[in-house]
A and B are shown apart, each in its own frame.
Chain A
């Protein structure tokens, strides 16, 4: 295995679990998350040394694959899909609240509060300016807090 592929494997070992969970939160569908993770790592392995900063690149491609998949399936506003994957109730409840944010707001919130990425990294993953990330984040945060308060009440 080449050095580049070893690096991709290392990224997989360290980040795949977090990436997959973030994608479940973002897409609301474990199947979409699994497909996006496998696809992003497959592409990174195929491109080998041409990928600089494998970790950031994989996050970006995975989120892009998941977003494309959601668009294709027109899943963005529909209910959580039936899945072979058993999800705990709290996760399903949280997912249904997240679904009420716009996709970019949702991605920004998940990447910031769950994946702990800095805003510059979120900007790179979502391919927007850092200032735009701040806007998505503040709107998403406000809306989600409101939804959570409603839900708690």
Chain B
């Protein structure tokens, strides 16, 4: 039976003209409208959005009655395992953005009420003991126009005491050292990677030569800091993930920059790095080997980013950009089942999440039973992937043979390339199945570490 999808692929060979300049300068024809039903539908959507925005506004107002002096807001109890994030209550980018949290199981979104009117806060990061929350805050206008830059604050959630660590609105993306004594962050509006002590002293730039830095994440063993930067300084079209020692030495490039990799986040056991690339989330070993996709981003999803691991390493919270980029929504991915579920309403705009550590360091490892369950689930998933890939292989071989038989060299070549790709993927998945099986036999439930990590 002819494969329609395959046949329609011929249109992918067409080279589209550049129409952007024409679109910017032409006078739109007034005769083209969207038709009455669409207008009506858009009206209904607008009303629904207003209601949704008003609802979230109500939640926020209920908690943030007395904004100005930041320390005077009443304490909010944040449960262990809660996920904290900055929140814009609609898709309007200049709306006030408050720090909020939601429980990992779902439920209402609660605002901290510490952000003054006109300011925005986000890019939160928990200290490893779960007692202090570092975040970025500044005038909303500035924070939104300068890629999240503001000042660095630390909120002690036990005493509900807020301290400001920097001034000048030029830092972003804090991450804690595993002993909680230091923070790494982005300095100079994206130009440098810097560290400072958690009390705001000893601020020091550790890397600046690449000219562009984002989203650092300190490894759980404290030895390295992962970050997003550019393989070629000056060319910000391609980003990749790097690691560096906290003293600024030993920089290593982990990914090749071919699919705009960014937002690295170390797993609690330090063996994996979750990150964002080609619109979705992935993990790789901490040495950059074994990239493995985690999410599937299909319309209305346009981009998954900002992963944050659960303390037990079995879930990942992340932001999914939906609706053509208009909505940013918080999701949780279950690494055992591969399922994702949303935690915030679609109309809201959330900032990168931070999952609160539930228990002190040292007792944070998952139980053997949890690991075994997760390994079994991963095994089932890998086997399903293998079955699917074998079918794909069979189909591609048929396409290849047919193309060869009918003398369509271009099609044959393309099918050949796809076959090679599928074969590599099958080999990788087989290796993964073997590694999971070995780990299950050893009783650890944890797949054996990738070579070199």
Contacts and interface: CB of A to CB of B under 8 A. Distances in A.
Interface in A1-32: 3, 7, 9-12, 14, 16-17, 20-22, 24-25, 30
Given A20-B19, A37-B19, A52-B42, A10 B299 contact: no
Interface of A: 3, 7, 9-12, 14, 16-17, 20-22, 24-25, 30, 34, 37-43, 45-46, 52-57, 60-61, 64-65, 68, 85, 87-88, 90-91, 94, 109-110, 113-114, 116-118, 121, 127, 141, 144-145, 148-149, 152
A61 B19 contact: no
A43 B19 CA distance: 13
Interface string B10-47: 11111011011011101111001011011000100110
Interface residues of B, number: 41
Nearest to A140: B4
A56 B14 contact: no
Nearest to B279: A14
A148 B7 contact: yes
B8 A7 contact: no
Max chain A CB contacts within 10 Å: which of B11, B17, B35, B46? Answer: B11
B42 A117 contact: no
Given A38-B19, A53-B324, A60 B8 contact: no
B252 interface: no
Nearest to B411: A90
B323 interface: yes
Contacts of A109: 4, 8
Contacts of B32: 39, 43, 61, 64-65, 68
B325 interface: yes
B157 interface: no
A39 B16 CA distance: 15
Contacts of B451: none
A148 B28 contact: no
Given A53-B326, A56-B323, A121-B300, A38 B22 contact: yes
Contacts of A68: 32
B70 to A, nearest CB: 27
Contacts of A42: 22-24, 26-28
A61 B34 contact: yes
Nearest to A117: B299
A94 B35 CA distance: 31
A34 B20 CA distance: 10
B298 interface: yes
B391 interface: no
Contacts of A145: 1-2, 4
B4 A21 contact: no
B159 interface: no
Given A7-B326, A45-B24, A61-B32, A16 B19 contact: yes
A91 B7 contact: no
Given A12-B20, A20-B19, A39-B32, A94 B10 contact: yes
Given A10-B325, A53-B323, A16 B8 contact: no
B31 to A, nearest CB: 8
A42 B29 CA distance: 9
Contacts of A11: 324-325
B302 interface: yes
A91 B26 contact: no
B154 to A, nearest CB: 30
15 contacts: A7-B324, A20-B17, A21-B14, A39-B23, A42-B22, A43-B28, A46-B28, A52-B42, A52-B45, A56-B323, A56-B324, A61-B34, A88-B14, A91-B11, A127-B38
B302 A55 contact: yes
Contacts of A22: 11
Contacts of B29: 39
